[in-house]
A = this chain, B = another copy of it.
Amino acid sequence: MVVFSGDLDKAIASFIIANGAASSGKKVTMFFTFWGLNIIRKDEKVPVNKNFIGKMFGAMMPRGSRKLTLSNMNMMGMGSKMIRSVMKNNNVSSLEELIQMAVDQGVEIVACQMSMDLMGITREELIDGVGIGGVGYYLGQADQSSHNLFI
């Protein structure tokens, strides 16, 4: 599964699919690229040396899953809050719980090396348990799997 988008709603959908597949015994690899990297950034600012572009991207993009916005009807963050609140009221796991669940179930979480280089994101800024790989790695995993989604 390629997670290209950094929208809250698509992130939730991708982790629900990944967790569902993993819990039925499938091997799942999630490859986070471009805006998708923001989903697996740590919440806090990590002190790392960056060049100017890296600093700009770092500052402008949402830092971690709690800062993501919706692809639709975001309304300055109100939509995100509303989705999170209805998920809670309906006893659906939050995105952070879904991520933790994926890690616990052995879903492989891989950050795209090229995207990290382009956006100036370092290993230290990503949540624990994340691997790093290139498009070749992703294609190798896709080759061994029966399904492949671009989200």
Contacts and interface: CB of A to CB of B under 8 A. Distances in A.
Taken together, the copies of this chain in the complex come to 3
Question: Interface residues of A: mostly helix, strand, loop or mixed?
Answer: helix
Nearest to A54: B86
Contacts of A146: 143
A114 interface: yes
Interface of A: 2, 4-6, 9-10, 13, 16-17, 20-21, 24, 33-35, 53, 56, 60-61, 71-73, 82-83, 85-87, 89-90, 92, 114, 117-120, 135-136, 138-139, 142-143, 146-151
17 contacts: A2-B17, A2-B149, A4-B151, A9-B35, A16-B114, A16-B135, A20-B135, A24-B139, A35-B71, A53-B86, A53-B89, A60-B73, A61-B73, A90-B118, A143-B146, A148-B149, A149-B150
